[in-house]
Amino acid sequence: MHPRHALLLLATVALAWGINWPIGKALLQYLPPIWIVTLRSALGALALLVFCGLRGRLVWPRRADLPVILSVGLLHMAAFSVLASIGLQHVPAGRSVVLAYTTPLWVLPGAWLLLGEALTRRRLVGVGLGLAGLLLIFNPLSFDWQDQRAVLGNALVLLAALCWAASILVVRRHTWVTPPFELVFWQALLASALLLPLALHVEGVPRIAWHAELVAMLLYGALFGIALAHWALGIVSRALPATTTSLGLLGVPVCGTLCSALALGEPLGAPLLGALALILLGIGVGTLRRG
């Protein structure tokens, strides 16, 4: 894929996942956190099964596909989603999405050590600007370290970022045999198979008062947050360097923070706006070629 088209897909992923964060926060009013992730994953797998079947693109994965199925299904769709959803119970949606996308902090050294990607000046400056924006939003000096629930929530979201960074590195290093879209169903199916017993063991059988708003939010997470976004990210990860991909995904906290302010009424002050400007500048410097 041409890098320009890959960047457009990357922007689509950032928008879809940015909107998904305030939706995930709103879902906590109706469902426990692990069940939210489980139902979204199962619905996403079902949607992908129907779509692949209708398009004749449902294929059995090969042995060479197992590393990318395991890494995305286990580390991203399951571990990242569960840790972030539990963290959302104790952290505002705007701050949690920012912490989750400290991924470049872990991807940059990993891509250098494991993938041999060069630490160019533009990438270093882009990562530095993006992380400066993240630090401006999450100011450790003003954080209440005595609040154990808040500390736990923030730690879980940061751990989620580490899991996703590992997944990005595996996908980038993977030698593709089956196209990314054909594997998204198997990744979502694996995540659902892992999440269902976990949800039953930890949270039990939930009592759900079904209504249109709840169904719509779950469907958005399944169709856009899983089916569309993971397909697009699989293509992007093949076409762009791992560091560029992680930098472009810094657009998610921009979208997520703005959507959280609009939908949930979370405060949007001058420091937050300044941080978002730094993140956007970091994305531009790190991902766009000169000229």
Identify the helix (H) or strand (E) that includes residue 118.
none
Q: What is the mean pLDDT of residues 53-69?
A: 89
- Whether residue 116 contacts residue 172, with contact meaning beta carbons closer than 8 Å, is answered with no
Q: Once rounded to an integer, what is the mean pLDDT over residues 74-103?
A: 87
- Which among 41, 28, 24, 26 is positioned nearest to 226, based on CA atoms? 41
Output the six-digit token pair for 280: 């956007």
pLDDT tens digits, one per residue of 75-89:
999 999 999 999 999
Residue with more model confidence, 244 or 195: 195
Residue type for 9, please?
A: L
Output the pLDDT for position 291. 45
Residues, the chain: 291
- As a whole-number percent, the residues of the chain with pLDDT over 90 amount to 30
- pLDDT over 70 for what percent of the chain? 96
Question: CA-based angle 18:212:29, to the nearest 5?
Answer: 60
Q: How many domains does the chain have?
A: 1
- Domain housing 67: 3-287
What are the tens digits of pLDDT across the range 140-158? 776 677 888 888 988 899 8
Q: Is the dihedral of CA 17, 23, 25, 28 positive or negative?
A: negative
